[in-house]
Amino acid sequence: MLHTEEKLLNLEGRLHISIVMALFSSLTPVFIAIICVLIGAILKKTNGEKEKHETKSKPLSHPWVDEDLKDGTDHHSEEEVVDEEWQGLEENVAHVPFFAERYSEAEMIKRSQMFYELLNKRRSVRFLSDEPVPREVIDNVIRTAGTSPSGAHTEPWTFVVVQEPYLKHKIREIVEEEEEINYKKRMGDRWVNDLKRLRTNWIKEYLDTAPYLILIFKQVYGQLPNGKKKTHYYNEISVSIACGILLAALQNAGLYTVTSTPLNCGPQLRVLLQRPANEKLLLLLPVGYPKKDATVPALTRKPLEDIMVVM
């Protein structure tokens, strides 16, 4: 009798304990651990987004850095970037007297007038002959583009000159494939399209015929001697300005081109041309003479009063 009663009391006690523990199972620590991990993941993502957002907006507010002010007029908030600005060179650059060409006022008016007339003849030409062009001219126009100013004098450009037929053809295949996909996507919206005329638009014969293709890459960052990343302030604006100088040089030399950015195939072209990860394709310029039967659209340019405001 006693043994049974003892056992009874024992069981009752254990049952009470079990009921109390019903609120907290042996899996409870596991659940709590899982919850903590998930909360940690959420907080991490939230912080990551905030950082990404700040990082994305800051480059847009970075000012142009005058090329002779490498110790910068830039506004930086990232520690790393501030370090790079203050490194060496900038604080040690000597200033030297500058001697400039000086023309009479009449000469200036004449020169500026003639240069305008020369550049006003420039048109984008998509029908290029395969007639060869002297390589020396290409070298000179690219040297000229390289005289462009750039943020903090970073000179963040690479001009890739392609003349080899097989490689030009690979480029053409890549570009046309992307363009065709794009046109067909948009054609779905417009049943009144003239297919034949559209087809012309994604065929880029000039990529095969032009004697040279100049692919202009921007270096989105560089490398410092100590291995750290070097900020390339305003690299896109710098490289675009260099492209403007290149276009002036081409026109001056009697060569023609069309300024284009192949849709979405920048990365493929970067890989094809074996450019490093810090370079991104910005523009593609096929260069050569116009075909004998080349045409251009009948466009007009805005008059001076539409583009200039004097205060």
| Distance, CA of 171 to CA of 181 (rounded, Å) | 16
With CA atoms as reference, report the closest residue to 213 among 240, 252, 175, 248.
175
227 versus 301: smaller Cβ distance to its own copies = 301
Q: CB of 104: closest distance to its own copies in angstroms?
A: 9
Q: Output the smallest distance, CB 100 to its own copies, in A.
A: 5
Report residue 24 CA to chain centroid gap: 57
Q: How far is the CB of 227 from its own copies (least distance, A)?
A: 19
Cβ(288)–Cβ(177) below 8 Å: no
For residue 47, count CB atoms less than 10 angstroms from its CB and return exposed for 0-12, middle for 13-18, buried for 19 or more.
Answer: exposed
Closer residue to its own copies, CB minimum distance, 38 or 271: 38
Q: What CA–CA distance (Å, rounded) separates 74 from 260?
A: 31
User: Toward its own copies, which CB reaches closer, 224 or 245?
Assistant: 245
Provide the minimum distance between the beta carbon of 278 and its own copies in the complex, in angstroms, as a whole number. 14
Distance CA 61, CA 82 (A): 15
Least separation, in Å, of the C-beta of 103 and its own copies? 4
Per the CB < 8 A criterion, the answer to whether 168 and 207 are in contact is: yes
Cα–Cα distance measured from residue 97 to residue 20, given in angstroms and rounded to the nearest whole number: 90
Q: Which is nearer to its own copies, 121 or 227 (CB)?
A: 121
Sign of CA dihedral 262, 267, 271, 273: positive
Shortest Cβ 98–its own copies spacing (Å)? 4
- The C-alpha atoms of residue 61 and residue 108 are separated, in whole angstroms, by 36
Where do the H-state alpha helices sit in 150-194?
165-187
Closer residue to its own copies (CB): 201 or 226: 201
- State the minimum distance, in angstroms, from the CB of residue 24 to its own copies: 5
Q: DSSP character for 292?
A: T
Tokens of 278: 């810090």
The token duo for 269 is: 């072209």
